[in-house]
Amino acid sequence: MKQLAVAFIALFSSAVHLYSILCITINWSNDVPSCVFNPLCTCSKALPDLGNVQCRDVPMPVVPPALNNSNIYTLQLQRNGLRHIEEMSFFGSGIWGLEISDNLITSLHANALHGLERSLRELNLRGNRLTSVPSACLRGFQKLRHLNLADNFINEIKSGTEFPASFKHTLRSLSIARNALNFIDQYAFKNLKSLEQLDLSGNNIHFIHELAFIQQPISAETGGGAGGSDDVIALSVLNLSVNRLRKIPFEAIKNITSLKVLDLSENLIWSTVDLLFKDRRLSLDELHLEGNQIQHLMDSAFENFLRINKTFLSYNPIAFVEDGAFKHVKMESIYLNACELSNISPNAWLHLENDLRAIDLSLNALQVNAKHGALLYNDSFNNLENLRTFILNENAVSYRLSPLSLASSQYTLQQISLKSDPQTMRQAFSPIKYEMQFSSVRRLSLTKLKEGKRLTKNDLLGYGGHNLEWVDLSGSGMEEIAADAFNVAPSIRSLNLSHNYIERVNGDALKPLSRTLQTLDLSDAFATRTLHCDIFNYLHSVVTLNLNDNDLQSLSLPSRCFDELRKLKFLSLDFNLLRTIHTDLFRSLPNLAYIFMSYNKLTSIADETFNEMENLLLIDLSYNHIKQIKSNAFSNLNAIETIDLEGNDIEFIEHEAFVNLPRLKQLNLSFNKLRSVHFNAFDQIGTLATFRLDVSNNLVNLESENGESKQKHQFILPASRNSVEYCDFSNNNITFINGSFFDTIRNTLTQLNLANNNLPNLTSSTVSRLLYLQRLLLQNNRIAAIASDAFRSERSLQVIDLSANEIPELPANVFDDTVNLRVLNLSRNQIRGLSEQVFRNTPYVESLDLSHNRFTTLPYQSLKYVCSSLRIFLFSHNQLEYLRADEVKGLFSRLLVFDISSNQIKQLSLNVFNDFRRLISLDLSHNPLQEIDDRTLESLHCTLEELDLAATKLRAVPLLNLHSLKKLNLSSNLISYIHTVSLRNTSHLQQLDIANNLFTSVPNNIWHLLPKLRFLDISGNPIQSLTNDSFIGLEKLEELRIKNLTLHYLQYGALRPISLLKVLHISYFQKIKHFSIGAMILDNSGLRELHIEANVSRLPRNVLQHGESKLTKKLQRIYIRGGAIRSIDDELLNVVESNTLELSIRETNISSLYTNLFSNLGRTRNLKLDVRDNSLATISDVLFAAPHFSKFGCAQCVSVRQRLDLRLPFSVGSRLVQTNQVGKCRFNVSAQLTVTILVFHK
């Protein structure tokens, strides 16, 4: 009877708790309502059917038990900090689609999803830490159609055992992308017969077994039938991109007759043919081979294929296409853009005469044929009678293409693109010169104009006529548009005239396009500072107009410039020099939905400027010089959702500046100069939406001279006419908040951010009585005192952050009203102890952070009230000297994360962790332990996954009988040797950090015990040599750190055994003569990221090079650090062969970057250059006017981005560039390389 009574009381208390939540979570907005079980989540319906549930960025150590009591259609748990899913967490919910993404889950219990076997259709576990397919918990699922396991650490798919038989007729798509797979074994996808889409991209796959996609082993019963159509997965899409395959896996895919799309891009494939493969020829809709190592297309290069509709060969080092390369195969489209083609045989297209529809040869190095005076040969494409798309952008420095080359397809071509630098082209492509008509052309891209800088009708003659719909004349050097320019093409829908120098446009020039033109791009198009509005006189059908980057100062008709654009929806005027907006400028645009005017010089917004624009959804006026917002500046906008005023100089907002904006979701006033905001500036705001108000990073100070808040400083919104749910007042100068400050939004406010202000205390009126407040952020203030009723009546409050203040103590009853508190952060204060009763009314606390305080003992008496709910307890950086078993007994039985690092603990008792039955992560680092008894951690052998023992003065590694351990940190100790017995039961270990110890040699005696190790750091040890056997046994290692070693001997190929290495952190070892990273890795083909630290004045070329060998073509990121570095060898980057390179040179003493450093970048097409935190005063013309930047030309568009001060100017060559000109592309260079620069002055 006693047990029954206890159970009844527990059930009753749970019901009362649920009822209390239900009573206080009222939906005040008509947008997505909050959830009953957690108001920080959103639910499309109320109890008992919650509908679609979203919990993004909601702290949640465990899945809320209340979910089991509700019917749910879809549930999204994203970025919640989840580490563990308890058994039957979703039992009874009937979920159709479940997403648990971007969390910290390493494994799933067999019963974690129990109860969803007959309802679940979609399961998304992307972005966790799973090391294997969660087979046990997936068994019995009868209706699952989509399974996403991408972005985990899965390193193996076991042969025939990973997927349950219930998947055989249900699962349609499976993603295991971006994991750690090395190979695909036979029968790996057994029981997935109905699988249609398989994504294995972004792994380290170098081998695929020929029976990988077969359903059953060949046996006496099946005979030779296995591998037939009945035994093969019904795949239609197979993605194997970004792996390490060296050849097309013909044997593995030969029997997949349903395969339509095969993606093998970004591998190491060097040939399109396998001469040994003589079985069935494949038929595909799409074959993707972009970014491989194919150097030429030989005779019969595609003989293993019967048909490929679209073949993508872009970004390969293909230099030559032989005669008959496409024999024996039917193709409709070939994409050879961004290769290294310098020659194509005149007979290369033989056998494709009747099939080929599209050719893209752009971004190559095709040269003029001296004998024939044209590109290649006049008959290069003459036999292609059905060609519809021809793209030949950006090739040789000087070339001309004769229209006669396309004579046979002049009546079939629908797209012609011949873009290049107009100054290097000998003559315009002119069909009428040869009396030709490309009458079917719909899309046309040209650069060279017949009359040099004047656009006339002759430039469009011979192309499509009334069929022409899409025309790109950007970057053509155009200065004038003749009146008859578009008379011959009156059906154009999209016209791009950007990046020109237009000084004059005849007012009637665009008149022929009045009924058809919908998109007009005039960005960076004008050479004048005044926009002549007569260009828009007849454009009644334009929907999108882009006028960015023109340095416009004025409009010729300030109030009526856009009057004729009655259908306009998108208007962009970013990056100009406009100072005013006339009140009538937009008045005649009834359909306007988006206005972009950021980075201008606007100083004010007049009243009624945007008045009564019924369809307006967004206004972006950020980063201007607006000083005040006048009355009715934004009024009667029934559809508006976003107003962005960030980065202006706003000091004052007039009475009723924002009026009747019922659907407003976000008003951004951040980074201005507001000292106060009048309460009467807002009227009827966000009443039909979830309204977010951002006033962060201003100068708001609500304290008057006598210490009381003045009325004019109040930010008060009438409760009956506004619905503010989120307020951000962070990074201001608030020192005082009046008791009635939030009165008018008390019934709607759910999230309040007051971080980074100067509040000295929390009184009974500061933030109390906010009945529906759920999240309160008060970190980084100067709070030294908290009143006992500071959180009075705040029963909805779930998250409180009081970190980084000066709090010495908490009143015993301060949290009495916060009955639903779940997350409490009190770190970085001066708290010495807690009252025993402080948590007596907060039984649902899941995460408690008391780190960086002055505790000398655990507040175990206080914690007894939250012991049944607490999952995360952080107690680091205190003054704890001991941890006793009797004190923690019964307190942490459900704890998942325990951090007591940086205390003064010298010893741990043998049974101190006996009651930590579910502990996953334990941090004991930076305690003077000196030693740990082998039996101390025994009780955690089944659950512990992360153990941090860094800086604990250990001289020896204790016996770690931890079967589930995945991460071990032993850095900064006194360890010189690891006995094999210490790690014999840690075979699941994935990360090992032994940096900064006393190892004199690499501890390769333990590598065989760690078959799943992915990360290893041995930096900072007195290791004197690295040899070929130093890393044998680390076949699955992906990241290695070997910085600051005392190396005297380095053997070539020392890192060769680490065949799957992706990331390498290394120092420049000065004592090694001719030190070369290339010599260390030799034929490693997967290195993608390289970090180099050097203490030399000049970084030599041999750091990366080894003889004539080059680094892997996968290498895309190089980071260079070192305060002593003053220069870099000009040939350092010669070894880089990737298409994209992210180069970071930071924290050095380099004062200038020179041309030669980038002169031989090889095949790099996209360069991101980060040179922040150096001694740079200028960036030379290397990126703009270097004549031999690469064989593909100089930079096309340079995006200059400033991270700290958006208005700080700096010098680029001889030009002074302001960062409010981001995106400006007026550099007279070729369009081959795109460069992004990040710059910051020291």
HEC secondary structure over 649-673: CCCEECCCCEEEECCCCEEECCCCC
Q: Which amino acid is at 376?
A: L
CB atoms near residue 1098 (< 10 Å): 11
Say if CB 738 and CB 763 are below 8 A apart: no
Tell me which H or E stretch contains 831.
none
Say if CB 204 and CB 183 are below 8 A apart: no
What is d(CA 471, CA 461) in angstroms, rounded to the nearest whole number? 13
pLDDT at res. 23:
37
DSSP state of 361: -
Residue 286: which of 247, 233, 332, 327 has the closest Cα?
A: 332
Phi and psi (nearest 5°) for 897?
-130, 125
Give mean pLDDT in consecutive 10-residue pieces for the chain, a chain of 1242 residues. 42 40 38 75 82 92 84 93 90 92 93 92 96 91 95 90 89 96 93 95 94 73 49 93 94 93 95 86 95 91 94 92 89 92 80 91 72 50 88 68 83 89 71 85 89 88 89 91 91 94 86 94 92 91 95 89 94 94 90 95 87 91 93 88 95 85 92 80 71 92 48 40 83 86 82 95 86 93 94 92 96 94 96 94 95 95 93 96 88 94 93 92 96 92 95 95 95 96 93 97 95 96 94 93 94 89 93 86 82 92 71 82 90 81 89 72 75 70 41 38 34 34 31 50 36
What is d(CA 912, CA 920) in angstroms, rounded to the nearest whole number? 16
Helix extents (H) in 691-836: none
What is d(CA 740, CA 1121) in angstroms, rounded to the nearest whole number? 53
Residue 870: which of 883, 878, 858, 853 has the closest Cα?
A: 858
Residue 927: which of 871, 985, 880 has the closest Cα?
A: 880
pLDDT at res. 28:
34
Q: Which amino acid is at 833?
A: G
Cross-strand partners of 334 = 311, 359
Cross-strand partners of 1106 = 1109
Phi and psi (nearest 5°) for 1063?
-125, 130
Three-state DSSP class for residue 824:
strand
Say if CB 688 and CB 33 are below 8 A apart: no
Tell me which H or E stretch contains 761.
strand 761-762
Pairing verdict, β 570-572 and 554-555:
unpaired
Q: What length does the chain have? A: 1242
pLDDT at res. 1188:
35
pLDDT at res. 1177:
64
CB atoms near residue 330 (< 10 Å): 17
**In the chain, what are the domains?**
759-879 (3.80.10.10), 889-998 (3.80.10.10), 1002-1138 (3.80.10.10), 1143-1242 (no CATH)
Residue 950: which of 991, 892, 1004 has the closest Cα?
A: 991
Pairing verdict, β 666-668 and 642-644:
parallel
Residues 951-970 as b/e (b if ≥16 CB within 10 A, e otherwise) read bbebebbbbbbbebbbbbbb
Phi and psi (nearest 5°) for 1143?
-110, 120
Tell me which residue has tokens 């192309």: 463
Distance of CA 558 to the CA centre of its chain: 41
pTM of the full predicted structure?
0.87
Cross-strand partners of 446 = 418
In angstroms, the Cα distances linking 961 to 642, 824, 938, 945, 1016 are 56, 34, 6, 12, 20
Say if CB 727 and CB 751 are below 8 A apart: yes
Q: Which residues contact 270 (CB under 8 A, 6 or more apart)?
A: 246, 247, 292, 293, 294, 295
Q: Which residues contact 644 (CB under 8 A, 6 or more apart)?
A: 598, 618, 619, 620, 621, 622, 666, 668
What is d(CA 146, CA 412) in angstroms, rounded to the nearest whole number? 42
Q: Which residues contact 585 (CB under 8 A, 6 or more apart)?
A: 555, 558, 559, 560, 561, 562, 609
Distance of CA 275 to the CA centre of its chain: 41
Cross-strand partners of 504 = 480
Q: Which amino acid is at 645?
A: L
What is d(CA 100, CA 586) in angstroms, rounded to the nearest whole number? 46
Three-state DSSP class for residue 20:
helix
Distance of CA 100 to the CA centre of its chain: 18
Residue 1164, burial from CB neighbour count under 10 angstroms (0-12, 13-18, 19+) = buried
DSSP state of 463: B
DSSP state of 438: B
Residue 1201: which of 1192, 1214, 1193, 1210 has the closest Cα?
A: 1210
Tell me which residue has tokens 């060279």: 448
pLDDT at res. 373:
40
Pairing verdict, β 967-969 and 691-694:
unpaired
In angstroms, the Cα distances linking 156 to 79, 182, 215, 722, 1105 are 26, 7, 18, 55, 34
Say if CB 901 and CB 926 are below 8 A apart: yes
Tell me which H or E stretch contains 899.
strand 897-899
What is d(CA 502, CA 522) in angstroms, rounded to the nearest whole number? 10
Residues 702-740 as b/e (b if ≥16 CB within 10 A, e otherwise) read bbeeeeebeeebbbbbeeebbbbbbbbbbbbebebbbee
- What DSSP string runs through 277-291? --SPPEEEEEEE-TT
Phi and psi (nearest 5°) for 635?
-140, 150
CB atoms near residue 981 (< 10 Å): 12
Distance of CA 1112 to the CA centre of its chain: 24
Three-state DSSP class for residue 1101:
helix
CB atoms near residue 979 (< 10 Å): 13
Tell me which H or E stretch contains 705.
none
CB atoms near residue 624 (< 10 Å): 24
First-to-last alpha carbon distance for the chain, in angstroms, is: 74
Q: Which amino acid is at 621?
A: L
